[in-house]
Amino acid sequence: MGRLDGKVAFITGAARGQGRSHALRMAEEGADIIAVDVARQLPTVEYAMSTPDDLAETVRQVEALDRRIVAREADVRDYPALKSALDDGVAELGRLDIVSANAGIFSQGRADELSDESWDEMIGVNLTGVWHTAKAAIPHLKAAGGGSIILTSSTAGIKGFENFAHYVSAKHGVVGLMRTLALELAPDMIRVNSVHPTSVDTPMIQNEMLYALFAPDLEPAERTRERLAERFQAMNALPVPWVEPVDISNAVLWLASDESRYVTGVMLPVDAGATTK
């Protein structure tokens, strides 16, 4: 028996990284998956984003676990497209029980130097997109008699960081949304919580843009994964530079499962102690 047998999970940002990991971990526990990803490059993002091939690989891996999956390309900022993708998935798979609002982007810049485009794109994806995801899902969860919504925030949703004002603002906003939804949806037995990862070993952190920010004293050729691990480790209390996607997926799985059936309105750090420093 899987911990999510008979359930259907909607995951945004599912083409790779944490989103793919969440999809696979839930599929391993018996869930069918509705997977959405923008699968294209956005103008203000300096690292390579996901592609249609990445989303197809998520489909392949979920199907290899003998689970059903409906995958669509959609931008979480585009509410009609996102809702259509979800509605298609529910029509095919029959219900909705779990939501992982995982889609997100990352960029950098001091608050007084950010462009309006960078600010708007960050807030649009990382906050408005999370609201859109929940908004599209709530009618389906009510129809199912309840469910679980897990919003991906960050350690940047708990504390401030220099050079990321737009990111920190969006991730703090996710917490406010989570707390409000937890109250509004409790009468319908819909639980709402947030997860707060430290750095996760995905392309969002393993890229030259972030390496340059963490190690401006090193020449580009010296900015290797091994050298940067020391800089990343300084953020955490535990002696690790970053966590793996599955570490976040295991937390999401617990919040999605009946093991946390009376847990709502909670901020759950998976941060190697970063927010205790």
Closest listed residue to residue 69, CA positions, set 118, 108, 26: 26
Residue 159 to residue 238: CA distance in whole angstroms: 18
Catalytic site residue from 47, 79, 167, 211: 167
- Beta strands 98-101 and 69-73: pairing type? unpaired
167 counts as catalytic: yes
CA distance 227 to 216: 12
Q: State how far the alpha carbon of 82 is from the alpha carbons of 26, 69, 124, 177, in Å.
A: 21, 16, 13, 19
| 195/205 Cα distance (integer angstroms) | 18
Cβ contact 27:65 at 8 Å:
yes
Report whether 154 contacts 259 (CB < 8 A): no
Closest CA to 232 of 209, 210, 250: 210
Length of the chain: 277
Q: Where on the phi/psi map is residue 195: left (φ > 0), alpha (ψ -120 to 50), or beta?
A: beta
Q: Which residues are catalytic?
A: 167
